[in-house]
Homo-oligomer: A and B are copies of this chain.
Amino acid sequence: MSDARAPRLYLEDLHVGDRFTSGEHALDAAQIIAFAREFDPQPFHTDPEKAEHTFFRGLAASGWHTAALTMKLLVESGIPLADGIIGSGGEVAWPQPTRPDDVLHVESEVMEIIPSRSKPERGMVVMRCETRNQRGEVLQRFSPKMVVSRRPKG
């Protein structure tokens, strides 16, 4: 939002099929462990040695860490919406674990645009946001419904 280089988009600026690619975030074990200690304190997210003997067979980020980093990338460089990125929810999936050496970016596409009948000043936009690592592997799929403002009149 604060990036003066980016255009500030309103509902009427978006079209189905529009695509956006975010900048990158480089993860590491320290970030994974710090997030997990606060929000998801389980050995496969907090202890590299114990993690070897779990379902994940090695340290993996909490899915909510992947989700939070996806949001950071969307806000900072992902989708330059004029009034910010406001989601009411959506389907989230983590097809494979996020690992300590992953460099994340987010590829987003506009899937559906739904003008509001009751609120003429805004609408809903359904996006598909894929979080990928440096090898193009999909770490998270998220299909948020976002609240997007129309351009103010006058």
Query: Is B90 touching A92 in the complex (CB atoms < 8 A)?
Result: yes
In the bound assembly, the distance between CA atoms of A54 and B82 in angstroms comes to 12
A87 within 8 A of B: yes
A26 within 8 A of B: no
Size band of the interface chain A makes with B: 35 or more
Main secondary structure of the interface of A (DSSP, over half): mixed
This chain: copies in complex: 2
Q: Which B residues are in CB contact (< 8 Å) with A76?
A: 41
A67 within 8 A of B: yes
Closest CB of chain B to A149's CB: distance in Å? 8
| Known pairs A38-B72, A54-B83, A91-B92 / 10 extra A-B pairs, C-beta < 8 Å | A1-B43, A40-B68, A40-B71, A41-B76, A42-B75, A44-B84, A44-B86, A62-B68, A87-B94, A89-B93
Known A-B contacts A42-B75, A64-B64; A55 and B88 likewise in contact (beta carbons under 8 Å): no
A80 within 8 A of B: no
In the bound assembly, the distance between CA atoms of A61 and B152 in angstroms comes to 26
In the bound assembly, the distance between CA atoms of A62 and B1 in angstroms comes to 15
Closest CB of chain B to A46's CB: distance in Å? 11
Q: Which B residues are in CB contact (< 8 Å) with A67?
A: 64, 67
